[in-house]
Chain A
């Protein structure tokens, strides 16, 4: 079992739907991450939050909207997605690099998203 919990595990949505992915950790980590992973490919960084503030956005389309309501929670709001956005979405957390350099990332097992 992982210490980073992602819900739901699977999600099917239409291109006009609005949905949200959720991620929760209780390790006291202050950095949280969203990654996207297509089949047979490595994870690709999307967003990084540090102390609940967005610090990195890897030029992700605006149809993906991250939110960090508190230090334990990270959401990814989805709207008007395309079929090519179907992928495994991974959440991770770590100590913030200003307090502990090279802190390992702890990953959840992801949400498998299918856009129809």
Chain B
């Protein structure tokens, strides 16, 4: 089962928007896209998930391509506390999460 593909690292300035890309070309019709993040010295934290439509919550927005082969996590205004590893995960409903390598986000003042 191919996992997702993300850039190893990205850098952003504080208070700027951040767009974190994810490719999932082998996604099936029942796979959801989940995003988690892991801050230093903490366990992973749920961010957002979606199937086909774009999704918004208090933490972020998720934009899913029309063919569902890629998605983008959008942090509207990065803060220093958003520095973390961000994981994009294909999840077939009911199954546990299998993490890929993730993107390490650096936020600079």
Contacts and interface: CB of A to CB of B under 8 A. Distances in A.
Contact of B93 (A45, A97, A105, A108): A97
A16 to B, nearest CB: 29
Contact of A48 (B36, B43, B87, B96): B96
A109 B100 contact: no
Interface residues of A, number: 23
A66 interface: no
Contact of B99 (A42, A97, A101, A109): A42
A97 B94 contact: yes
A107 B96 contact: no
A97 B42 CA distance: 25
A115 B66 CA distance: 48
B46 A101 contact: no
Interface in B10-54: 32, 34, 36, 41-46, 49
A105 B97 CA distance: 8
Interface residues of B, number: 23
Nearest to B50: A102
A42 B43 contact: no
Contact of B97 (A2, A45, A98): A45
Contact of A106 (B46, B85, B93): B46
B45 to A, nearest CB: 7
Interface of B: 32, 34, 36, 41-46, 49, 85, 87, 91, 93-102
Interface of A: 2, 4, 33, 41-45, 48, 56, 90, 92, 97-98, 101-102, 104-110
24 contacts: A2-B42, A2-B43, A42-B85, A43-B44, A44-B99, A45-B97, A45-B98, A48-B96, A90-B44, A92-B43, A92-B44, A97-B93, A97-B94, A97-B95, A98-B94, A102-B32, A102-B91, A102-B93, A104-B34, A105-B97, A106-B46, A107-B44, A107-B45, A109-B43
Given A97-B94, A101-B94, A102-B32, 18 more contacts: A4-B43, A42-B85, A42-B87, A42-B99, A42-B100, A43-B44, A44-B99, A92-B43, A98-B94, A104-B46, A104-B49, A105-B36, A105-B46, A105-B97, A106-B46, A108-B43, A109-B43, A110-B43
